[in-house]
Amino acid sequence: MDNKMLFAGSAGLLVVLIVIAVLIIMPFLNAGGLGEKCIGVVEINGEIVAQGIEPTLFFGGIMGSEDIAKLIEEADEEEGVGAIMLVINTPGGSVVATHEVHEAVVNAKKPTVAYFREMAASGGYYIGAGTDYIVSEPSALTGNIGARITYLEMSGLFEKIGLNETSIAEGKFKDIGNPARKASEEEIGILQGIVEEEYAEFKKAVIDGRKGKINENEERIFDSRILTGRQAYSLGLVDKLGGKETAVEEAGRLAGLKGKPRVCKIEKKEKGWLGGILSESALFGGFVEAVSEGVMAKIRGEGFKVNV
């Protein structure tokens, strides 16, 4: 009986030690720490936003630009990562958020490769332009190099429903974009100036990132048109047409890796199941609040945001 209990206790201890060893070793295996270096993959999906939403038990979450930038920086610092590959599938988004991610890409010391899956338009291309090499699916949508500001003007609607707004402001342009009235030519000129400034920054980022690969005077590159991967390739905006495996191979080549490169996904550490449950109600409340505030800001003409 004692021998059986001793054996059972020893077996149990052995299982615990094995589990602990696996937990310790897995991060190194994932990042290529115990062998050939891997290609660190960072995914950029959906609209590019500055403020993310934490994942929970029932919701995958939305990564903000700060989260994405941190993942790129982590991959750049990880010894087991030979090159960084960005899987980009986004229509663009906030210019501030896009700048933040682009800066992290440009500052990376390791080779960087962008892979355009279905869409890498506007801000998506802005980020990709900062990498060393771009691979695109032939039918992916990209390009759309430009900037814009959108706001609602509802003076006609307000007049029909009898809604009047009184705005008391100090400063000539304090209520610029007020939806209760039409914007003056001078106000439109101010907003146009902001858009032109951000467009110039976007254009400069593309020229700097694709130096020697594009014709800087080619109108089709900078007139904000949507391009397929094939069209972008013909204009020098993309280095190679292909799928994810092609992008991995090119990342391996830039990293000097031999054979077929191994991929390791660089992702944000998620909360445990308990943290997910505890934050679920907070997420829902915060989400509803954010949506309602966003709608009201649109109605009030607040919160101007430049998008790329």
Average pLDDT value for residue range 232-238: 98
**Distance between CA atoms of residues 176 and 169, nearest Å:** 10
Residue that wins the pLDDT comparison between 12 and 117: 117
Q: Give residue 55's pLDDT.
A: 65
* Summary mean pLDDT of the chain: 84
Per-residue confidence at 165, pLDDT binned at 50, 70, 90? confident
pLDDT at 277 over 50: no
pLDDT at 228 over 80: yes
Q: Give residue 119's pLDDT.
A: 97
As annotated, the active-site residues are 122, 174
Average pLDDT value for residue range 113-139: 98
Task: Let me know if 68 is exposed, middle or buried by CB neighbors in 10 A (0-12, 13-18, 19+).
Answer: buried
Q: Give residue 233's pLDDT.
A: 98
All structural domains of the chain, each given as residue ranges with its CATH number in brackets, are: 37-300 (3.90.226.10)
Q: Give residue 114's pLDDT.
A: 99
Q: What is the dihedral of CA 214, 246, 260, 111, to 10 degrees?
A: 30
Q: Give residue 8's pLDDT.
A: 53
pLDDT at 230 over 90: yes
What percent of the chain shows pLDDT beyond 90?
58
How much is the pTM?
A: 0.78
